[in-house]
Amino acid sequence: MKGRWQNSIHLIRPAAVFLAGLVLFLVVRVFVVPPTFGQFGHYRGAVLDEIRALPVKYAGQQACAACHEEETHLKSKGKHASVACETCHGPAAQHAEDPGSVRPGKPEETALCAGCHEMDAAKPKWFPQVNTKEHMAGMRCLECHPAHDPAP
Ligand code: HEC
Ligand code: HEC
Ligand code: HEC
Ligand code: HEC
């Protein structure tokens, strides 16, 4: 009988270590998993209210159109028709709500334009691209391309 069990200690020891690890994992898990995790899915349920409480930053193009008819009209017939106002001007909900005290400011044009139009082999061929340094020849983009209706 003794001979029969004397080697099984090699299995029992690692099994005990494994079991202890499992118990430790379950205990730690109780403390570190946030209370609302899994309420709706594989995320914290409470995060929905947290995100809902964040201030809205973008007003949307329709809001801009109500006060800036000229820019809206210019843009709608030009090549930038598909680029929304706040893509270039940044989030402007506060400005739209209170234009007297909050101004979006003017974008830094060269960086802005190059951000979309700098030549890059990874961009689709149909998208208009230039080597800005050579192309602008020491001038500003806006001297030749009005931002809201840029076709040369
Ligand atoms: C309730 C009216 C109103 C709304 C809505 C509005 N604006 Fe304005 N905006 C103004 C007024 C007024 C000025 C100041 C005009 C002036 O100085 O002659 C202004 C100025 C600006 C300027 C120039 C800022 C500067 O420093 O020269 C930009 C750019 C601008 N608005 C962008 C936007 C964008 C983008 C939106 C939409 C998200 C928007 N506006 C929505 C009224 C509005
Ligand atoms: C492609 C980028 C781009 C888009 C899209 C864009 N703007 Fe602009 N906007 C500019 C730049 C750049 C200037 C600065 C022009 C300058 O310095 O003369 C500007 C200037 C302005 C100004 C200041 C007045 C002026 O003409 O200098 C207003 C107001 C304005 N934009 C409103 C709008 C509104 C409203 C929309 C959406 C209908 C819009 N913009 C879309 C780039 C853009
Ligand atoms: C958010 C990206 C974006 C930004 C920023 C942007 N553009 Fe554009 N631009 C476009 C798109 C999209 C088109 C239209 C492409 C098309 O449909 O052919 C376009 C078209 C143009 C065209 C017309 C090219 C042609 O086919 O004749 C010129 C010129 C141009 N942009 C210059 C500028 C200048 C100057 C600025 C900076 C004031 C600027 N763009 C900023 C996205 C952008
Ligand atoms: C001296 C005037 C001038 C300046 C400054 C200038 N452009 Fe142009 N741009 C043109 C002319 C003219 C064309 C049309 C002929 C051509 O494709 O070269 C053009 C064409 C473009 C096109 C369309 C290219 C295509 O293949 O369809 C884009 C995009 C453009 N410019 C962006 C810019 C940007 C961004 C800047 C600033 C970094 C800028 N341009 C500065 C005159 C200018």
- pLDDT, residue 5, reads 76
Does the Cβ of 95 fall within 6 Å of ligand 3?
no
> Residue 118 region, left (φ>0) first, then alpha (ψ -120 to 50), else beta?
beta
- Which amino acids bring their CB within 6 angstroms of ligand 1? 59, 63-64, 66-68, 85-86, 89, 92, 95-96, 99, 103-106
Q: Which of 116, 119, 130, 132 to mutate to test ligand 4, by most ligand atoms within 8 A of the CB atom?
A: 130
- pLDDT, residue 2, reads 62
- pLDDT, residue 143, reads 94
The C-alpha atoms of residue 68 and residue 71 are separated, in whole angstroms, by: 6
The C-alpha atoms of residue 124 and residue 133 are separated, in whole angstroms, by: 21
Does the Cβ of 117 fall within 6 Å of ligand 2?
no
> Whose alpha carbon is nearest atom 20 of ligand 3?
79
100-129 per-position pLDDT tens digit: 999 998 899 889 999 999 999 999 999 999
Does the Cβ of 106 fall within 6 Å of ligand 2?
yes
Does the Cβ of 75 fall within 6 Å of ligand 2?
yes
> Whose alpha carbon is nearest atom 12 of ligand 4?
152
One-letter identity of residue 122: A
For the chain, list residues with pLDDT below 70: 1-3
The C-alpha atoms of residue 33 and residue 7 are separated, in whole angstroms, by: 40
- pLDDT, residue 107, reads 92
- pLDDT, residue 51, reads 96
